[in-house]
């Protein structure tokens, strides 16, 4: 059992900075997910926690102990790699026991741990096979099993499901959630799939270009993003962004005019400082926050490109008069196939020119 904290962790490869000072508290037993686009430094951060990369600056603490100079094996962690990293020339059983055998663990204990892991992951009947004789999902289980036999205090997962097909991914996602419940240990999980992040995490860390953009519970990120990047990254389909500018400031907030919608006024109540009159802002609207005309804060008439009927709901792909693409979620019944519809914004988020949230 261990809490993990990062204090201002910096990583440079040569002179190339890759992580610019990440600070983060992870409680004991928490399931934390790092998400972010490709190349943002998720793996690097994870590998630094694992001890596979050294830290240029800052401090990593696991279980109350600074581990900057501690060997990976002594950190109480286990890691599951994206490629599974199973030893191809060994059977499943040998794969599971390799680390323990090599570090001189007691034979009977090794045996016990291996069969426990096999039970947990239901791979007992695969023990004599080699990795190439396993399906993707089975390989993934073995890779997780290899982590379990170490009895780690912290599990590290680097995109463990990205090589699986969609169906298996959902299935393994549930398994990992089950495992977390069963073992109750801290887990740090890297993915660029925001669905995985939303469904698995107690806490999500959104990264972009080596910076932590926001840390929070999944629904907090969803309903209360700190900036445009997080707002766009969390949620599927993505949040819509409509440009606009401030036409009026008052003590309650601002009133905006949306691009291409002369005369449309959208009132945005703000408690914090309001942007300058005339300044450009972005209004974010989630697909489900559009409603029928006349029932919200502002009406937009949009031209419809495509309607996707998914059964319960439908997604309307449309464009505003200013040419901005929108995705609008509607009930199947109200998703007309008309070329033009009028929708109403019922709830929106306001971002300034730099993409920071205005509240």
- 3-state class of 135 per DSSP? coil
- Residue 40 binds what, of other proteins, Mg ion, ligand ATP, none (CB under 5 to 8 Å, by partner type)? ligand ATP
Q: Taking CB within 5 to 8 Å according to partner kind, which of other proteins, Mg ion, ligand ATP, none is near residue 308?
A: none
Q: Is 82 in the site for other proteins (CB under 8 A)?
A: yes
Q: Return all residues near 251 (Cβ < 8 A) that are at least 6 apart.
A: none
Of 45 and 327, which has the nearer Cβ to ligand ATP? 45
Given CA atoms 90, 95, 97, 101 in this order, what sign does their dihedral have? Answer: positive
Residue 40 engages ligand ATP in binding (rule: CB under 6 A):
yes
Strands 186-191 vs 31-35: parallel, antiparallel or unpaired: parallel
User: CB–CB of 173/61 below 8 Å?
Assistant: no
Interacting residue with other proteins among 42, 141, 150, 208 (CB under 8 A) = 150
| Residue 200, SS3 per DSSP | helix
Contacts (CB under 6 A) with ligand ATP, residues 178-197: 192
Burial of 280 (0-12, 13-18, 19+ CB in 10 A): middle
Q: Cβ(200)–Cβ(227) under 8 Å?
A: no
Choosing from 27, 73, 267, 339, the residue that interacts with other proteins (CB under 8 A) is: 73
Listed ranges 33-41, 249-257, 280-288, 299-307: which one lies at the site for ligand ATP (CB under 6 A):
33-41
Interface with other proteins (CB under 8 A), residue from 146, 286, 289, 330: 146
Residues in Cβ contact with 66 at an 8 Å cutoff, skipping those fewer than 6 apart:
59, 60
Shortest separation between residue 156's beta carbon and ligand ATP, angstroms: 12
To ligand ATP, the closest distance from the beta carbon of 165 in angstroms equals 19
Site for other proteins in 270-289 (CB under 8 A): none
In degrees rounded to 5, what are phi and psi of residue 280? -85, 135
Q: Candidates 40-48, 55-63, 99-107, 336-344: pick the segment binding ligand ATP (CB under 6 A).
A: 40-48
Instruction: State which H helix or E strand residue 208 sits in.
Output: strand 203-208
Query: Is the CB of 41 or the CB of 160 nearer to ligand ATP?
Result: 41
CA pair distance 159, 156, nearest whole angstrom: 10
Query: Site for other proteins (CB under 8 A): which residue of 99, 136, 232, 355?
Result: 99
Least distance (Å) between residue 101 CB and other proteins: 9
Per DSSP, the residues of 217-283 read: -HHHHHHS-SBHHHHHHSSSSPPEEEEEEEEEEETTEEEEEETT-TT-EEEEE-SSPPPPTT-EEEE
Task: Kindly tell me which residue out of 43, 95, 138, 140 binds Mg ion, with binding defined by CB under 5 A.
Answer: 43
- 302, β-bridge pairs: 341
Q: Residue 71 interacts with other proteins (CB under 8 A)? A: yes
Coil, strand or helix: which one is 143? helix
Residue with smaller CB distance to other proteins, 18 or 221: 18
Question: Residue 189's beta-bridge partner residues?
Answer: 33, 157
Nearer to other proteins, 155 or 351 (CB): 155
Of 81, 223, 315, 317, the one binding other proteins by CB under 8 A: 81
Residues that bind Mg ion (CB under 5 A): 43
Where along the sequence are the contacts to ligand ATP (CB under 6 A)?
13, 16, 18, 36, 38-44, 192
Binding-site ranges for other proteins (CB under 8 A): 47, 50-52, 71-74, 77-79, 81-83, 85, 87-89, 98-100, 102-103, 146, 150
């Amino acid at each position: 059992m261990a809490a993990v904290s990062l204090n201002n962790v910096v990583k440079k490869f040569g002179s190339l900075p890759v992580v610019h000072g990440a600070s983060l508290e992870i409680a004991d037993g928490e399931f934390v997910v790092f998400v972010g686009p490709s190349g943002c430094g998720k793996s690097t951060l994870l590998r630094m926690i694992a001890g596979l990369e050294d830290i240029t600056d800052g401090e990593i603490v696991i279980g109350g102990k600074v581990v900057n100079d501690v060997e990976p094996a002594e950190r109480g962690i286990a890691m599951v790699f994206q490629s599974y990293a199973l030893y191809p020339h060994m059977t499943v059983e040998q794969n599971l026991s390799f680390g323990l055998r090599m570090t001189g663990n007691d034979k009977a204990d090794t045996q016990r741990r291996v069969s426990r892991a096999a039970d947990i992951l239901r791979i007992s009947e695969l023990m004599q096979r080699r990795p190439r004789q396993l399906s993707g999902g089975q390989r993934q289980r073995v890779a997780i099993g290899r982590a379990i036999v170490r009895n780690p205090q912290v599990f590290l997962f680097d995109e463990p499901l990205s090589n699986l097909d969609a169906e298996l991914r959902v299935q393994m996602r549930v398994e990992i959630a089950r495992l977390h419940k069963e073992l109750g240990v801290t887990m740090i999980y890297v993915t660029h799939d925001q669905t995985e992040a939303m469904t698995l995490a107690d806490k999500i860390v959104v990264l972009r270009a080596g910076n932590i953009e926001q840390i929070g519970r999944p629904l907090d990120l969803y309903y209360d993003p700190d900036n445009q990047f997080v707002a766009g990254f969390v949620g599927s389909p993505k949040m819509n962004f409509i440009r606009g500018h401030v036409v009026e400031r008052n003590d309650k907030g601002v009133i905006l005019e949306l691009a291409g919608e002369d005369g449309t006024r959208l009132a945005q109540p703000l408690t914090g400082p309001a942007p300058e009159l005339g300044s450009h802002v972005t209004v974010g609207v989630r697909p489900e926050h559009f409603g029928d005309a006349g029932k919200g804060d502002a009406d937009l008439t949009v031209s419809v490109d495509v309607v996707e009927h998914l059964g319960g709901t439908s997604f309307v792909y449309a464009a505003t008069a200013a040419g901005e693409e929108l995705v609008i979620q509607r009930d199947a019944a109200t998703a007309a196939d008309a070329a033009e519809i009028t929708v109403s914004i019922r709830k929106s988020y306001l971002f300034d020119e730099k993409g920071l949230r205005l509240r």
